[in-house]
Structure 1
Amino acid sequence: MKKGSLIRSFMSYALGSGITLIIGFFSSPVITRLINPEEYGKFSMFTLVANIAMLAIICGLDQSFVRFFYEEKEKLRPKLLQQSLIIPFILNVVIAVGMLVFYKKLALVFFQSESFFIMIFIIINNTIMLINRFAFLIIRMEQKSRSYSILQVIQKLSYIIGVIVLATPLNKSYLTLVIATVFSNLLSTIIAILLDMKYWRVSSYKKEMLKNDQKVLIAYGIPLVFSGAVTWIFQYVDRIAIKQFSGYEELGVYGAAFSIVALLNAVQSTFTTFWTPVALEKYIENRENKQFFSNMCQYISVAMLYMGIGLILFKDIVVYLLGAEYRSASFIMPFLIFMPIMYTVSETTVIGINFSKKPNYHILISVASCLLNVIGNLILVPMLGAKGAAISTGISYILFYVLRTHISLKFYYVNYKLREFYICIFIIASYALYSTFNKANFFTILFGILSIVIVTVLYKEILRKVYDILKKKFDKQ
C-alpha cells in the first residue's frame, strides 16, 4: 500500500470514529440523565457477562481468521470464514443451554434478581455478536475503510435512538440500555453481511483445500483463549471489585467515567482496525522495512499522549456534562486514560510476537498484568473505591505495554524511541495522580501545559515529519 493510499485509508477509518466520538460526546450527558448510577451499574454487569460468554464462544478463532486471511487465496477466504465459524457456533449453543438451565443463579449473582429475560437478551446478543465479529473482521481485512466507518456511525446512532425511545416505557431501567445495545448490534450486523455477501454464500465455498486447515486455526487460536480469559480478568476485575466492595451506584459512576475515556477508545478502535491488516501486509511485502513500523509507533504515541493530557486537563468540564449524580467521575478518569493509551501504542510494538506466530507470549503478558491488577484492586478499592480501581487499572496497563514491547523486540527489533515515551508516561502518570485527588486549579492547568510542552519537545522530530507530510499534501491541492 502506497503512502498516499495508507493515509487515505486511515483517514477513512478515522472519519467514522470521529463522528462516533462526537455522537458519544453529546449523547453521554443525555444517557446519564436518563439512567441513574445504580441502573448504569447493572448494565455494566450485562456487558461483563456477555463478554465472558463471547470469550468462550469465539475460542480465539477470530484471531486465527485475521492471522491467516492474507495467506489464503482470495477465492478461498469464504471457506476460511466457514472453518473459523464452525466451533464458535457449536459453543454458542452449548453456552446458551447452560445459561438457560442456571439462569436463576446467574441472574441473582450479577443482577440481584431472578430474571429469565436478561439471560435471553444475553443469549440473543451473543449470537448476534458472534456473526458481527466476523462480519466486521471481513470489512477490516479487505480494508474497506469507508464501509467500516459507516457501520460505526450506524451502530452508535441506532443505540442512542433506541435508548431515547425506550427510556420512558421501561421506566429508565438498565433494560433500556440492554435492548438498545441488542438492537444496534443486530442492525449493524445485517448491514455488514450485506456489504460482503460473497463470504456468506455457502455456494461460494470451493472444494480446493485451504493452506491452513482447521487444525492450524485451532492450534493458533486456543492459546489466545487462555490469554483472552486472563485478559478478561485483567480488564474487568476492577468492576467486580467495585461491585463487591462499593455497590452498583459506585459501579455506575465508574462506568460513566469509562464512557468519557471511550472518547480515546474510539481512537484506539480506529487505529487497531486500520493497523492490523496494514502491518501484516507490510511485513509480508518487506520485513526489513523497520523504519515504517518505528514511524507509525511514534505517530500514534504522540497523538495518544496529547489526547490523554487533554482529557485530564479538561476532566471537570467534561464530567460536568454528565449530570450531578456523576460528578465524582472526574476523580476516576485520570488513570483510566492509560488503558487506551498503552493498549493502542502497544499494538504497534507487539508486532514481533504476532509476526513470529508466538501467541503463547500473550498468555504470559496477560497473566502478569492481571495479577498486578487483581492485587491492586484488592488493596486499593476497599480504601479508595472507584479511584483505587482506576489507579490499579492504569498501572497494570503500563506494565502490559512494557511486557508486550520488550518481549516483541526479542523477535523483531525496531527502534521505537522508548526513552522519550517512558519519560512522557512518567510525567503524565504524575499528572494523573495529582488530578485523582484534586479538582481543577491553577496547578492542574500549569501541570497540563507543562506536560504538553514536554511531549512536544521530545517528539519534535516526528512532529516535523507530520508537518512536512501535511504541507506537501496541501501544496498539491
Structure 2
Amino acid sequence: MNFLKKLLSFSIGSFGSGIIAFVSIPFLTRVLSPEEYGSGMLFISVAMVFSNISILGLDQSYARFYDRINPRILLKKISFITFFSIIVLSLIVIINKSFINSFFNNKYEYAYLLILFMFTQNLFRYTLVILRMEQKGYLFSLLYIGQRLTELIFLVIFISLFSAIHLYMIFSSILGFILPSIIGIFILNQLITKRSELSILETSVESKSLLKFGVPLMMSTVLITILLNIDKVILSFFVSNFELGIYTSALQIALSLNIIQSAFNSFWVPYAYTVSQEENFKEKFNIINIFLTLIMVVVAIILIHFKGAFSILLGKEFKDSINLIPMLVLMPVFYTLSETVSIGINLYKKSYLHLRISLFVLIFQTIILVILIKNFNTLGASISVGSSFLLLYVLRLFTGQKHLNFIKNTKILFTIIITLYSYALVESFYDNAIISIMFIVFMLFMLFILLKKNTKFITSQFRRKV
C-alpha cells in the first residue's frame, strides 16, 4: 500500500470526525448560552491537560518501541504504568476537590468528572495509537468517527430530555470515549495476536527506557496542551463567561483546520520512522512539508477571507466572534506545520528539545496574554495565540533543521509564513478588500514558486507511486 492510500485511510476518520465537530458548532451555539458554552469548553480544556499528564507520554513510547518489542508485552507494561499514574493523579484531584470545584464555580462535582475524563480519554488514545502502528487506517477512521458521533448523539439526547447546560457537554465527551474504546479493545486483541513476526521481537523492556523516552514528550505535550488552552484559563480571570463563550466559539471555527492536522498526524509518525531508513528520505520529507504548507495556507486564507460568513453559522449571540477568527486560525496552521519541520528532533531522540521549546513559548505566551488581554480584551487573546504559535513554528523549524536538514527553499517558505501572519493580523483590525486581495495574490504566487522549484522530484515520485 503506497503513501497516498495509507494517508487516505487515516484521513477518512479525521475528515469525518472534523465534519461532525464542525456541524455541531451551530447546534451548540444555538441551544447553549455563551456562558454555558464557555464553561463547558473551559472544563474540557483543563481536563485535557490532566489527561496528558497522566499518560506520561507512553503512547509515544509505544510508537517508538513498537518495531523492537513484542507489542503485547509492550502494551501490558505501558498500561500498568499509565493505570498507576491515573490512580496517583486521581488521589491528588480528590485531595484538592474543593479547590477544583470552586475553580469551576462549584455548580457540580467537577473533580470526579475530571477523573472519569482522564481514564476514558487515555483508554481511547491507546486504542488509536495501536491502530496507527498496526496501519489499520480504515478501522482507525471508523472508531474516530464513532467517537465524535457518539458524543454528538448523547449531547442531543441529554439536551432534548433535560436542559441546555454545560454539564451534558462533559457527560457526552466521557461517553464518547468509552463506547468506541470497548469495541476497539476486542478488535485489537485479535490484530496483535495475528502478527507473524512477534516471535522475532524482543520480549522485555525496562520501564525506565519507556519513561525516559515518554516523559520528556509528555512534558512537552502537556506544555503544548497548556499553550492550546491557557488563553481560555487566563481569559476566565479577566472577562465574563459570556465573553469567554464568544471567544471559544471563534476558536472552534479556527480549529476546524484540525481536520487536516488530525488526518496528517495520524499517519505522519509511523510513516516518518519507516521512511527514514530509505536513501532519499530527506527529499520525501521536503515534498510532504511543501504539500502540507500548500494545503494549510490555502485553507487558512479561505477561512480568514470569508470570516464574515461564520456569523450566520454561529447565530446572533456569537456574532462578535468574527474578528477573533483570523489570528486563531494560525494556531492549528503553525502547529501542524511545526510537526513536519521538527521531525529531526524525534528521529534523533532529542525529545528534551521539544520540552525546552514548548516551555519558552509558554512563558512568552503567558506574558503577552496578560498584556494584550488588558488592552484588547478577547481580541488581544487571539493575537497572543497566533503570535505564540508562530514562535513555536520558527523555533521548531530551526531546531529541527539543525539535526536533520531536509527543507529546501527555506527563505521562500519563511516568507509565506510571515505573510500569512501579517495578513491575519491586518484582518483582525480592518476589513479592506483591496489589501486582502494583495496579500492573497502574493501568498499564492510564493506557493507557486515553491512548487515550481521542486517539480522534478515531485514528478518522479508520482511516477513511482510512492
Normalising by structure 1, we get a TM-score of: 0.90
Distance in 2 between residues matched to 1:263 and 1:53, nearest whole Å = 23
1:234 shift after superposition = 2.3
Distance in 2 between residues matched to 1:168 and 1:395, nearest whole Å = 40
Identify the residue that residue 433 of structure 2 maps to in structure 1: 442
Identify the residue that residue 268 of structure 1 maps to in structure 2: 261
Q: CA, structure 1 residues 92+161, in 2 after alignment: closer, same or farther (shift >3 Å)?
A: same
Distance in 1 between residues matched to 2:236 and 2:453, nearest whole Å = 43
Question: Do structure 1's residue 53 and structure 2's residue 50 form an aligned pair?
Answer: yes
Distance in 1 between residues matched to 2:280 and 2:287, nearest whole Å = 14
Question: Do structure 1's residue 227 and structure 2's residue 220 form an aligned pair?
Answer: yes
Identify the residue that residue 329 of structure 1 maps to in structure 2: 321
Distance in 2 between residues matched to 1:470 and 1:252, nearest whole Å = 47
Question: Do structure 1's residue 21 and structure 2's residue 13 form an aligned pair?
Answer: no
Distance in 2 between residues matched to 1:319 and 1:85, nearest whole Å = 45
| CA deviations over 1:15-71 (Å, ceiling 9, x no partner) | 222223333333211111011111111112211231222122111212111111122
**Of residues 257, 272, 277 in structure 1, which corresponds to 2:270?**
277
What amino acid is the match of 1:93?
I
Stretches of structure 2 that go unaligned for 5 or more consecutive residues are none
Identify the residue that residue 121 of structure 2 maps to in structure 1: 129
**Of residues 251, 255, 259 in structure 1, which corresponds to 2:248?**
255
Q: CA, structure 1 residues 258+194, in 2 after alignment: closer, same or farther (shift >3 Å)?
A: farther
Question: Do structure 1's residue 101 and structure 2's residue 101 form an aligned pair?
Answer: no
Q: Is this contact kept in 2: 1:92–1:127, CA < 8 A?
A: yes
Identify the residue that residue 34 of structure 1 maps to in structure 2: 31
Question: Do structure 1's residue 453 and structure 2's residue 444 form an aligned pair?
Answer: yes
Q: Is this contact kept in 2: 1:302–1:459, CA < 8 A?
A: no
* Identity across the alignment (%): 28
What amino acid is the match of 2:20?
I
Question: Do structure 1's residue 12 and structure 2's residue 15 form an aligned pair?
Answer: no
- Counterparts of 1:188-337 in structure 2 under 5 Å? 188-198=180-190, 210=203, 212-283=205-276, 285-286=277-278, 288-337=280-329
Q: CA, structure 1 residues 468+208, in 2 after alignment: closer, same or farther (shift >3 Å)?
A: closer
| CA deviations over 1:340-389 (Å, ceiling 9, x no partner) | 11111111111111111111111111111111111110110111122111
What amino acid is the match of 1:272?
N
**Of residues 168, 171, 196 in structure 2, which corresponds to 1:176?**
168
Identify the residue that residue 62 of structure 2 maps to in structure 1: 65
Q: CA, structure 1 residues 154+379, in 2 after alignment: closer, same or farther (shift >3 Å)?
A: same
Report the secondary structure of 1:224's partner residue: helix
What amino acid is the match of 1:41?
G
Stretches of structure 1 that go unaligned for 5 or more consecutive residues are none
RMSD: 2.6
Number of residue pairs matched? 462
1:233 shift after superposition = 3.1
Distance in 2 between residues matched to 1:350 and 1:287, nearest whole Å = 19
What amino acid is the match of 2:58?
L
Distance in 2 between residues matched to 1:465 and 1:150, nearest whole Å = 37
Q: CA, structure 1 residues 200+177, in 2 after alignment: closer, same or farther (shift >3 Å)?
A: farther
Q: Is this contact kept in 1: 2:38–2:245, CA < 8 A?
A: yes
Q: Is this contact kept in 1: 2:71–2:192, CA < 8 A?
A: no
1:457 shift after superposition = 2.8
Distance in 2 between residues matched to 1:365 and 1:446, nearest whole Å = 34
1:119 shift after superposition = 2.4
Q: Is this contact kept in 1: 2:416–2:447, CA < 8 A?
A: no
Q: Is this contact kept in 2: 1:313–1:448, CA < 8 A?
A: no
Q: CA, structure 1 residues 31+470, in 2 after alignment: closer, same or farther (shift >3 Å)?
A: farther
Report the secondary structure of 2:283's partner residue: helix
Distance in 1 between residues matched to 2:408 and 2:368, nearest whole Å = 29
